[in-house]
Amino acid sequence: MANLSLKEIAEKIEGTILQGSESLSFNRFNIDTRLTEPGELFFAITADRNGHDFVPSALQRGASGAVISQNVTVDDTGFALIQVKDTLDALQKLAAKVLREHSLKVVGITGSIGKTTTKEFTSCLLSKKFKVLKSEGNYNNHLGVPLTLLKLRKDHEVAVLEMAMSNPGEITTLTRIAPPDIAVITNINPVHLQFFKSIEEIALAKKEILVGTKKDGTAILNGDDELVLKIAADWKGKRILFGLSDKCDIRAQNVRKGGWDGLSFDLIYGEKKAKTSIPFFYESVLYNFLTAAAAGYALALPLESLLSQVENLKPLPMRGVHICLRENIHLVDDCYNSNPAALESALKSLAELPAQRKIAVLGDMLELGEKEVQFHFRAGEQVAETRWDILMAAGPLSAHMAEGASSAGMSKERIFHFPDSEAAAKEIWSIVKEGDLILVKGSRGMKMDKVVDELKSKG
């Protein structure tokens, strides 16, 4: 982690030391007093809540200092205080300058779907050869990225950073803090349409990662996504394409589905080829793997090193986790989030797995803007078209899923609608039978994990 004196920090963020010894050192930095550890420097960020109100709490929990932009009185004169104009700007400025003092490669990952899984896979594959710093959890925004960078150690060789956005300009901010050496765009899909007029606007916002990439950097692009290729048409640097089509440098051929055992395929890794298997059954996860492999290729990771790490790839919590319950019931917990493209992929991938019946427990997909009704109606049609046996729809928007499924020929006796996930959870065991496959998926705000918890509690 960065180890900086109070004086060094003040100089880097152009702040004024109000109190505290200039030689006092810090190697931990935080914005949330609930997570504060002894010795930390607390940044009083003003956002939904005013961080200055929590400086006393930071002191009580053991923090050794705070960066502030408003008047704060602390009786303990040993508690360091640095005054700045803007605490968020100070946090970002400190992270950017710390990064510049380290010699390492930055891999920036953005896209509509699969950023976090791709980040985890990339970190895993690279860790065989490199000392890797990665974004933890959902530290993927204007706060999370700088906090991640402040954990840099001298021995780190690669930083794998997830770069998320819900509005134009947000990725530009992140690339100013951490200009990528390798810029990854996983895909472009209708996500966050509540904040954009069209998917083309989303594409332009994702393009910001290319604009902010170093001049000698490499772009890793989804070669099967026409919108990705379109926004990257004027990229003049090196590019590596990943996907399933023959034009891709990193691709999967002869993909074979092995049921609950996952997928096997021939991995084309530049000029090399190797038979590979991954313990995942979503085709979308195959793309996550190929993206991570492409990052390895960009960093000259030997194929043998990459393959040796495949067995360490694991699904993230609530992102397609396969859970075996009693009576040969298979639960797929995919309730972390949902959007039209991800749901379609899940429905199609799981429809081919062996089970007595297939039950889709689906919550609302949020932030889809003015087309939210059409997206939910279409999702219901897809449930019927992919021959799922039962639809349990939870939430006000999911009522349109029920309508779509019915219009596509699904019997109304096999369609159930509930006002929310709690109501669905109460009825789930009255519907599930021995040998069923159950998919639980919905936007995070729908709290579909309540259904998963109910299934696990009695399964």
pLDDT grade for 194, boundaries at 50, 70 and 90: confident
Give the three-state DSSP class for 29.
strand
- pLDDT, residue 143, reads 95
393 Cβ neighbours under 8 A, 6+ residues apart = 362, 363, 380, 399, 401, 402, 415, 416, 417, 418
Structurally, at CATH architecture level, domain 321-458 sits in: Alpha-Beta Complex (3.90)
Instruction: Give me the mean pLDDT over the 54-83 stretch.
Output: 95
φ, ψ at 10 (rounded to 5°): -60, -40
pLDDT score at 137: 79
What does residue 236 show for φ and ψ, rounded to 5 degrees? Answer: -100, -5
Indicate if the pLDDT at residue 35 is higher than 80. Answer: yes
Q: Domain extents for the chain?
A: 4-87, 102-312, 321-458
Q: How far apart are CA 80 and CA 325, in angstroms?
A: 53
Q: Kindly tell me the burial class for residue 324, based on how many C-beta atoms sit within 10 Å of its own C-beta (0-12, 13-18, 19 or more).
A: exposed
DSSP symbols for 136-168:
-TT--STTHHHHHHTT--TT--EEEEE---SST
| Lowest pLDDT segment from 191-200, 407-416, 427-436 | 191-200
pLDDT digits (tens, 9 = 90+) for 237-284: 999 999 999 999 999 999 999 989 999 999 999 999 999 999 998 889
Max Cα-Cα span within the chain: 73
**CA–CA distances in Å: residue 377 to residues 192, 344, 401:** 18, 12, 5
| Residue-level pLDDT at 10 | 98
DSSP assignment of 360-383 equals: EEEEPPPS-GGGHHHHHHHHHHHH
Pairing of strands 390-394, 357-363: parallel
Is beta strand 29-30 parallel, antiparallel or unpaired with respect to 41-43?
A: parallel
Cα 284 from Cα 261, distance rounded (Å): 16
What's the average model confidence in pLDDT over 113-140?
Answer: 94
Provide the pLDDT confidence category of residue 426 given band limits of 50, 70 and 90: very high
CA distance 58 to 65: 8
Locate 431 and state its tokens.
């519907």
Cα–Cα distance measured from residue 242 to residue 240, given in angstroms and rounded to the nearest whole number: 7
Contact 83, 68 (CB under 8 A): yes
**Which CATH fold would you assign to the domain 102-312?**
UDP-N-acetylmuramoyl-L-alanine:D-glutamate ligase (3.40.1190)
pLDDT band at 166 (very low <50, low <70, confident <90, very high): confident
Which amino acid belongs to residue 30? N
Homologous superfamily (CATH) of 4-87 is MurE/MurF, N-terminal domain (3.40.1390.10)
436-441 and 330-334 beta bridge pairing: parallel
- Looking at residue 210, its pLDDT comes to 98
Residue the block writes with tokens 């200009």: 179
Sequence-distant (6+) residues with CB within 8 A of 106 are 99, 158, 159, 161, 178, 179, 180, 181, 182
What integer pLDDT is reported at residue 139 of this predicted model? 86
Range in 164-168, 263-267, 372-376, 413-417 the model is least confident about: 164-168
Read off the pLDDT of each residue in 18-33 and give the average, rounded to a whole number: 95
